[in-house]
Structure 1
């Protein structure tokens, strides 16, 4: 039986930001808890964080930094959105991040229609977010685009058709984008349940088996570095 992973692996020439940037100009980016602890990186200051991203890109002569799927991070400790005293800390990232300057075009990964959109305004959340629904070979799944500009939500409506490679948004600046250095959080979701305009992008260790199955590695689709 065909699965979502099968469908993702069959797709070619997929990009979700500025199509003019070749994948050879991408560089891997380690934001694991161990690495950021070693660097004593201040993750609470979006300006310093953006400078850190820019330095990483410059040092590697790259235009986009990428990574983070199933990465355990300290990035979320600053926000009660991920640290509810009544539940286990959520610190495992279940999407893929693409770090580049604000204003960069965000593209629909595949043909589809807008499922939902919302501005998620908690500190450390997605900020403006668009979710696109796709149906291929009779199988429905979703792609989520988070940390957008507020203007990206203008003129959009649920059910609006989008084409693969079509510009659907732009990356936002802090604090509108959840107060992060500018980047796109890109996530694939098999079962979105009843959620609209939002879906967890970070999970706890006890939830990992479920979310790693429900949210497969976005690089199966993007194929960066393969």
Structure 2
């Protein structure tokens, strides 16, 4: 299936909101966390506390209930972790492949579409996803996957591969910085066309060399969510 066909399918779908349905689209405010944002020069993005203060101040300034953004942003936040950092700029993984929704820890997360549990795992590398769930979806005979990262440890309790998940069903809650890879609380949401051999994990950050592949395999989540 071509990328354009997959994008057309995503656009045609009517998902359930990932966060509480009381949070409407107008309640979100977008935020640029890329290295091009001059406001971040005064922020220690390596500190989850400092970054949280910056994000929460942005949300309060705009009287918003949640902050969204991040697809294909080149970010400096990953420099702090050897898991992402490479000496060669072309192989350093710093281009974000998902959409982040920043909101308080323990906020409930809901399935946007019908699916089944493909896999789940606690990815414990520093700066990694922490607890992660991947759902498999089959719509119009097309298979694809959605990934939910930076969850609470409790989100993995009782999970089993192959269990059916209904659209709008709560599947998780958000984790704190102590368990989510040391980030301010947020959901990393990513759409994956071909999961390859991954289970409970999939690259959420790319380098320059592999970017074209990941842009094809992981289209913009806003095609589905339609937040902006």
| TM-score tier after normalising by the smaller chain length | over 0.9
CA distance 1:118–1:104, shift in 2 (3 Å): same
Match runs of 1:102-141 below 5 Å? 102-141=105-144
Please list every run of 5 or more consecutive structure 1 residues that lacks an aligned counterpart in the other structure: none
Match runs of 1:42-121 below 5 Å? 42-85=44-87, 88-121=91-124
Q: Structure 2 residue aligned with 1:191, among 190, 194, 216?
A: 194
For residue 47 of structure 1, report the CA deviation from its aligned partner: 1.4
The farther-off stretch of 38-47 and 65-74 is: 38-47
Q: Which residue of 2 aligns with 1:171?
A: 174
Q: When the two structures are superposed, what TM-score results if normalisation uses the length of structure 2?
A: 0.95
Please list every run of 5 or more consecutive structure 2 residues that lacks an aligned counterpart in the other structure: none
For residue 14 of structure 1, report the CA deviation from its aligned partner: 3.2
CA distance 1:194–1:128, shift in 2 (3 Å): same
Cα deviation code 1:53-81 (max 9, x no counterpart): 11010000001100000010001000011
Cα deviation code 1:69-113 (max 9, x no counterpart): 001000100001111447710000010000000011111110000
Per the alignment, in what secondary structure is the counterpart of residue 8 of structure 1? helix
Q: When the two structures are superposed, what TM-score results if normalisation uses the length of structure 1?
A: 0.96
Q: Which residue of 2 aligns with 1:35?
A: 37
- Whether the aligned pair in 2 keeps the contact of 1:4 and 1:141 (CA below 8 Å) is no
CA–CA distance in structure 1, aligned partners of residues 223 and 145 of structure 2: 14
CA–CA distance in structure 1, aligned partners of residues 43 and 112 of structure 2: 32
Give me the CA root mean square deviation: 1.5
